[in-house]
Amino acid sequence: MVARGTWDDMRIRVLTMNVQHDAGDPRRTGLINVELRRLSPDLVALQEVRKDQLATLLDGTGLAHVTHQEDVLRSDWSDGTVLATRWPHRVVDVQEHRPAEGDVHWWTLAAAVDVPELGELLFIQPATPWRLDQAGAREAQLLAAVEVDQLHRFRLPSIIAGDLNATPKSAGIRFLTGLQSLGGRSAHYHDAWVVGGNGTGYTWTVANPLAAAEIERLVGQPHHRRRIDYIFVGSAHSHPTARARILHAELIGDAPVDGVWLSDHFGVLADLEYSLDPLAG
């Protein structure tokens, strides 16, 4: 969904969603597709996607440019992250991370997206370890994501989006939002939910029956609820000739569709307005 304002402004719609692969109700994948077509996002970060789901998930969405994690890692790990856009993109960085010897790998995928009339935008999608006792590994990966941004960023403010498995009070998220340093290093990104959302923004909660089953299995505590899915937007000081304003943010899938819960995670949708300084050349 692109809406033109003045000649140097453009609205860009961004979505991140963990689709919980193809578990449970077989209608879920088709219903997620219905939501994608309704929402018409321009940039999408999906997690826990089976490669054989992609055709159904993206059919008719206009998201014609797609990279699945399996494609860039050259592995048989078919359940992974997906970056999908309305516009051409090229992968500029892929990083693999292992919290401990013998653990499964996690990854960070970064792509340069060619936004019409504005130029290239760096879209970074980290997929971080989920275990509650792996905060250190998540922090190291978010530090690495910021390094990727610093290495590849363009004139347009970068976007970091995905299921980060960390709450807003965690050191990693506080680092991203400029509230604390990590390892003597600092960063600052705008949290789309804080700027444009309403309420707690919990994305993994026992209020969702699909999440409640996972929470019981993985956490084992009642009343568990967390905000762990995010869209972050680069700050003006890192991109002095362009800006990105967060206009609105909302949860996706936070109620059943035709009686079916879409996933164990709620997605996050953000509407952004990108502007270039016409005098900067």
How is the chain split into domains, by residue range?
13-272
What is the per-residue pLDDT across 102-131, written as a single tens digit (0 to 9) for each? 566 678 999 999 999 899 999 999 988 888
The reply to whether CATH 3.60.10.10 applies to domain 13-272 is yes
pLDDT at 44 over 90: yes
Q: Find the DSSP H helices in the chain.
A: 28-39, 54-58, 69-73, 135-152, 171-176, 192-196, 209-218
What confidence tens digit (pLDDT) does each residue in 152-206 have?
A: 999 999 999 999 999 999 999 999 999 999 999 999 999 999 999 999 999 999 9
Q: Which pTM does this prediction carry?
A: 0.93
Asked whether 21 and 50 are in contact (CB, 8 A), the reply is yes
CA atoms within 13 A on the CB side of 71: 15
